[in-house]
Structure 1
């Protein structure tokens, strides 16, 4: 068990506390190039996998004792660790659960991210999730988490999608934000062009799609007998997922090589965005492996 440092922050009205709390808003995040990571799971993964981007770590004495591995990893990485009273952590963020970090935002160009992924695994098919105008923070974060779990290489938040550093998005990723590259601020047509140039078949997920996901799984792989124009889920694939309320408009669907529906066997009208994205990503993951 690492030695617990003494409390150094006890005033919930201190300027530092106000500055950290302000990062819950987009103006402060944009101005300072920093964002909040709230809760033990997110902070643990940030310290383990993106320590170079972590500016400060804050813990209550109780959290420092309970999550000794976070304290030890932060110290090993040479990070600034501050022990604060529960009142200070609550003032910084009501969702901190006694553990909070401030991290630097890092803008990544789509081309650079694709180059790094290709260099790391040149022989493996790509799997990419593209969120187009997805506004709900919980959905966006859950798709990042599902992409990570399915072994995807990259997530792109295109168009007017939610800020990936929104605290609700960061919490919803459960630390996956620090496991794979997430590119933001790319117009959807530009993202499609770059992904197609990288060798990806671009598939739009939509309930009115002509291609059935299960049928594509049945004929996935190099030895399968597919009809002309039928996409191969075993090949490099980029999935486009649309807005929660209105899905993908016709111009966005037209950018894709095919429009694919997730089969619904029961009486549910539809699947929500995050669930549909998870099903599609795992279908590709299964076919590619």
Structure 2
């Protein structure tokens, strides 16, 4: 990709330039699925996409190229300069930061993710809210998870809101898209399957005190509106509830996932220390 328009003197690309028009189509899932590409917006996402070698083209305004010289240098001849109007056509935020990358999909098959023997995996079962899904992905990365599985009728991990909510973590962990929760494969890899549910028969604190989080673990999380499907709850090795010490009725999905994943991370840290 060129850092200047295709013909000398053309000036920066606009919203009507064919390459911008083509990239804008990636805001639609059907186009993302067909091309195997997606948009990553903002300096943090672009930086991590460049590190992951996933960037095909970087659209940037003149001001952004000056502000983020390191990213412009890293992108090299993949930079395409756009007008503010052209950038706005690609952006999905109210105040875009001048950088939007066209990236290749980064998801991997289940066997490839499990071949790296992760000690912690998050399974997002039919979670359809992209903000929640991206936040759980970011939390899983922070807690040291090796893979995040988008299972069943889950949101597209390359949805713009999901990508932004992940804050670059999409490029740090193995992202898996699976028609099911892949429980047999997870269990065969030595992972204990824990279902996070408000109706669980064991308290998370009790499970941690009993040493039940020390083993490699795959956590199953369901949608905030409907929870986990019954078949996944039944297939789990244990059904775990997050304790509520105050008067709140429940935690939202992202908060509950953070509590569970960090409880596992702490248990794994103690295991390594011994």
TM-score w.r.t. length of structure 2: 0.91
Distance 1:31 1:214, change over 3 A: same
Q: 2:37 aligns with which of 34, 37, 40?
A: 34
Q: 1:239 aligns with which of 213, 216, 219?
A: 219
Does the 8 Å CA contact 2:13/2:20 hold for their aligned counterparts? no
Q: 1:254 aligns with which of 234, 238, 261?
A: 234
1:9, distance to aligned residue in structure 2 (A): 2.5
Structure 1: gaps of 5 or more residues: 119-124, 221-231
1:9 counterpart residue number: 12
Q: Equivalents in 1 of 2:92, 2:183: separation in Å?
A: 39
For residues 244-275 of structure 1, the C-alpha deviation after alignment (integer angstroms, 9 at most, x for no partner) is 10101322200100000000111111111111
Does the 8 Å CA contact 2:190/2:216 hold for their aligned counterparts? yes
2:197 counterpart residue number: 206
For residues 1-26 of structure 1, the C-alpha deviation after alignment (integer angstroms, 9 at most, x for no partner) is xxxx6675332212111111110001
Does the 8 Å CA contact 2:107/2:174 hold for their aligned counterparts? no
Q: Equivalents in 2 of 1:164, 1:54: separation in Å?
A: 16
For residues 48-102 of structure 1, the C-alpha deviation after alignment (integer angstroms, 9 at most, x for no partner) is 2x11x21101111111111122112223xxx511121111101122434210000
2:164 counterpart residue number: 171
1:185, distance to aligned residue in structure 2 (A): 2.5
Q: Equivalents in 1 of 2:101, 2:29: separation in Å?
A: 17
Does the 8 Å CA contact 1:10/1:87 hold for their aligned counterparts? no
1:163, distance to aligned residue in structure 2 (A): 0.6
Q: Equivalents in 2 of 1:217, 1:68: separation in Å?
A: 47
Runs of 4 or more above 4 Å deviation: 5-8
1:106, distance to aligned residue in structure 2 (A): 3.8
Structure 2: gaps of 5 or more residues: 6-10, 270-274
> Which secondary structure state, in structure 1, belongs to the residue aligned with residue 235 of structure 2?
coil
For residues 144-201 of structure 1, the C-alpha deviation after alignment (integer angstroms, 9 at most, x for no partner) is 100000011110011100011111111110000000111003312xx11000000011
For residues 208-241 of structure 1, the C-alpha deviation after alignment (integer angstroms, 9 at most, x for no partner) is 1111111122222xxxxxxxxxxx2011000000
Q: Equivalents in 2 of 1:127, 1:139: separation in Å?
A: 19
> Which secondary structure state, in structure 2, belongs to the residue aligned with residue 254 of structure 1?
helix
2:121 counterpart residue number: 128
- Does residue 269 of the first structure (1) align with residue 257 of the second (2)? no
2:87 counterpart residue number: 89
Does the 8 Å CA contact 2:4/2:12 hold for their aligned counterparts? no
Between the two proteins, the alignment pairs up a number of residues equal to: 260
1:137, distance to aligned residue in structure 2 (A): 0.2
1:80 counterpart residue number: 78
2:185 counterpart residue number: 194
Q: Equivalents in 2 of 1:63, 1:134: separation in Å?
A: 34
2:272 counterpart residue number: none
> Which secondary structure state, in structure 2, belongs to the residue aligned with residue 69 of structure 1?
helix
Q: Equivalents in 2 of 1:147, 1:187: separation in Å?
A: 19
Q: 1:279 aligns with which of 244, 259, 269?
A: 259
Does the 8 Å CA contact 2:138/2:167 hold for their aligned counterparts? yes
Q: Equivalents in 2 of 1:203, 1:268: separation in Å?
A: 23
Q: 2:144 aligns with which of 146, 151, 172?
A: 151
TM-score w.r.t. length of structure 1: 0.86
